[in-house]
C-alpha cells in the first residue's frame, strides 16, 4: 500500500494506491483562493497547504479504508514546483516516515504526469512515447521498460498550459483558463481563424510564444466589439492551434522512434478536442481520466511503484527543488 502526497502548486493532494496500481483513494483539495490574482500566489499556496495537508492525508487513508500501519511506502513530490508549497508535503511525508519507520520515495512531479497512465484501469505500461502538456512544462519523452525517461524534445518558450491560460486571459476568462476556454470554444468554429502551429520549428521541439502573440494582435486588429462578437470562434481556433501544435510533434515522435504506443499526461490532456485528436492516431493511445491528468497524488504513488526508497538515514536531509532546478545530490 502506497500513500502519495503532492503539494507542488495550488492543489493539496493525497492518495492511496495498492501494489497493482489500483487507486483506493485520490483526494484533491483545490485551494480556489488564487482566482482573484489571475495566477497562483506562492505564499498563499504554501499557507493553504499547511492548513489542509494533514486533513487531506487523513481523508485519503479513511476513504481507502486503511490506517497508517497499513502503509508500506510513502511517495512524495520533491520537485519541481513552488518550493514553499513543496516543503509542506515534504515535511509531512518526512515526519510520517521517520516517526512510523515507513520507507520514503521522493518523486519528480513530471515523472508523475508521465506515469499516470500506468495506474489501473488503464495499466498502460512502458515502453512508450509520452507527451506531457501541463501548466509549467511541455515535452515529449521516450520511456523504457523500467520507466526511465529520456526527453526527446520540449517547448522552446511557453508550456502548452501557459499558452492556454494566457489565451483564456486575453479572451477575458478567469484563471485557470483551460476548462473555461474549452467551454467557450464549444460554441465556436475551430476553422474560423488560422493561428500558427509553429510547424517551422523542426524536430520534436515546440513553441507557443508566436501563437499567444498572434491572438493578442488579432484581438487588437479586430477591435474590442468585433472580438467580443467572435469570442467563441477565437477560443475554438486558438485551442485548435494548441492541439495541432502538440499533435504534429506527437506524430513526428512516433515516426522518429518507430513506436506505436503513446501515453499522454498533464493538465492540458484534460482537453476534449486534444484527447479526440490523439486517440485518432494510428497507435495504441493511453490518456488517463481527467482527474489523473491535472495534479493529483495517485500519479506520484504510481512513480513510487518503479523507484527505490531512500535509505532511512537520508530522509531527514531530503530537500525540495523548485521549477527549473534539478534534484539536489543526497547529503553525504
Ligand atoms: N480542459 C482543459 N483544456 C485545456 N487546458 C486545460 C484543461 N484543464 C486544465 N488545463 C490546463 O492545464 C494546466 C494545469 O495542468 P497541471 O495541473 O498539470 O499543471 P501544473 O501542475 O500547474 O504544472 P506542472 O505540472 O508543469 O508543474 C493549466 O494551464 C490549465 O489551464
Ligand atoms: Mg502538474
Supply the range of the domain harboring residue 13.
2-115+295-314
Torsion angle in degrees (nearest 10) through CA of 310, 312, 313, 319:
50
Tell whether 257 and 140 lie within a shared domain. yes
CA dist., res. 237 & res. 258, Å (int): 31
pLDDT at 330: 54
Protein residue closest via CA to atom 6 of ligand 1:
178
How much is the pLDDT for 153? 96
Question: Which ligand is the nearest neighbour of the Cα of 293?
Answer: 1
Determine the distance from the C-alpha atom of residue 56 to the mean position of all C-alpha atoms in its chain, rounded to a whole number.
Answer: 20
Residue 321 lies in a domain: no
Size of the chain in residues: 332
Lowest mean pLDDT segment, chosen from 108-122, 198-212, 301-315: 198-212
- CA distances (Å), 70 to each of 74, 114, 123, 265, 297, in order? 11, 27, 23, 29, 18
Instruction: Please name the residue whose Cα sits nearest to atom 15 of ligand 1.
Output: 267
Helix %, strand %, coil % of the chain (to 5): 45, 20, 35
Does one domain contain both 107 and 217?
no
Q: Where are the alpha helices (DSSP H) in 186-271?
A: 209-222, 224-229, 231-257
The span from the CA of 257 to the CA of 129, in Å, is 8
Judge whether 328 lies within some domain. no
- Angle between helices 231-257 and 272-279 in degrees, nearest 10: 30
Residue 120 C-alpha to ligand 2 middle, in angstroms? Answer: 20
274-309 pLDDT tens trace: 999 999 999 999 999 999 999 999 999 999 999 999
Using the mean position of ligand 2's atoms as its centre, give its distance from the Cα of residue 165 in Å.
14
Question: Considering every ligand atom, which ligand is closest to the CA of 267?
Answer: 1
Q: Write out residues with Cβ below 6 Å of ligand 1.
A: 8-9, 81, 109, 113, 134-137, 161, 164-165, 176-179, 182, 266-268, 270-271, 294-295
Contact 211, 195 (CB under 8 A): yes
Residue 78 sits in the same domain as residue 181: no
In this structure, are 222 and 99 located in the same domain? no
- Report the candidate in 71, 32, 69, 10 with the shortest Cα–Cα distance to residue 301: 71
Q: What is the mean pLDDT of residues 216-226?
A: 95
Contact 71, 3 (CB under 8 A): yes
Residues 95 and 129 in one domain: no
Residue 184 has pLDDT above 90, yes or no: yes
Closest protein CA for atom 20 of ligand 1: 135
pLDDT band at 36 (very low <50, low <70, confident <90, very high): confident
Cα 134 to middle of ligand 1, angstroms: 5
* CATH code for the domain of 8: 3.30.420.40
- Of residues 120 and 329, more confidently modeled: 120
Mutating to test ligand 1, I would choose from 115, 185, 267 the residue with most ligand atoms within 8 A of its C-beta, which is 267
Amino acid at each position: 500500500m502506497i500513500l502519495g502526497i503532492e503539494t507542488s502548486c495550488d492543489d493539496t493532494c493525497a492518495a492511496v494506491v495498492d501494489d497493482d496500481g489500483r487507486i483506493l483513494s485520490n483526494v484533491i483539495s483545490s485551494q480556489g483562493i488564487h482566482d482573484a490574482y489571475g495566477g497562483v500566489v506562492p505564499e498563499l499556496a504554501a499557507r493553504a497547504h499547511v492548513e489542509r495537508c494533514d486533513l487531506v492525508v487523513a481523508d485519503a487513508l479513511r476513504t481507502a479504508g486503511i490506517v497508517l500501519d497499513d502503509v508500506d511506502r510513502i511517495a512524495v513530490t520533491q520537485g519541481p514546483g513552488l518550493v514553499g508549497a513543496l516543503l509542506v508535503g515534504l515535511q509531512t511525508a518526512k515526519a510520517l516516515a521517520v516517526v512510523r519507520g515507513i520507507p520514503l520515495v521522493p518523486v519528480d512531479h513530471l515523472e508523475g504526469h508521465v506515469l499516470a497512465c500506468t495506474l489501473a484501469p488503464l495499466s498502460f505500461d512502458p515502453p512508450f512515447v509520452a507527451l506531457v502538456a501541463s501548466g509549467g512544462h511541455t515535452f515529449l519523452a521516450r520511456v523504457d521498460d523500467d520507466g526511465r525517461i529520456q526527453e526527446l524534445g520540449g517547448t522552446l518558450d511557453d508550456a502548452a498550459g501557459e499558452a492556454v491560460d494566457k489565451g483564456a486571459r486575453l479572451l477575458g476568462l478567469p484563471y485557470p483558463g483551460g476548462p473555461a476556454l474549452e467551454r467557450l470554444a464549444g460554441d465556436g468554429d475551430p476553422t474560423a481563424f488560422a493561428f500558427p502551429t509553429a510547424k517551422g520549428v523542426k524536430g520534436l521541439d515546440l513553441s507557443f510564444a508566436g501563437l499567444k502573440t498572434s491572438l493578442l494582435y488579432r484581438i487588437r486588429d479586430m477591435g474590442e466589439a468585433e472580438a467580443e462578437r467572435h469570442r467563441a470562434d477565437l477560443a475554438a481556433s486558438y485551442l485548435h492551434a494548441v492541439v495541432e501544435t502538440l499533435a504534429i510533434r506527437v506524430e513526428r515522435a512516433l515516426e522518429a522512434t518507430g513506436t506505436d504506443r503513446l501515453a499522454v499526461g498533464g493538465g492540458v490532456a484534460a482537453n476534449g478536442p486534444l484527447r479526440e485528436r490523439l486517440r485518432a492516431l494510428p497507435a495504441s493511445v493511453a490518456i488517463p481520466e481527467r482527474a489523473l491528468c491535472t495534479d493529483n497524488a495517485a500519479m506520484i504513488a504510481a512513480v513510487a511503484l518503479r523507484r527505490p526508497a531512500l535509505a532511512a538515514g537520508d530522509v531527514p536531509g531530503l530537500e525540495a527543488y523548485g521549477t527549473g532546478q534539478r534534484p539536489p545530490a543526497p547529503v553525504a
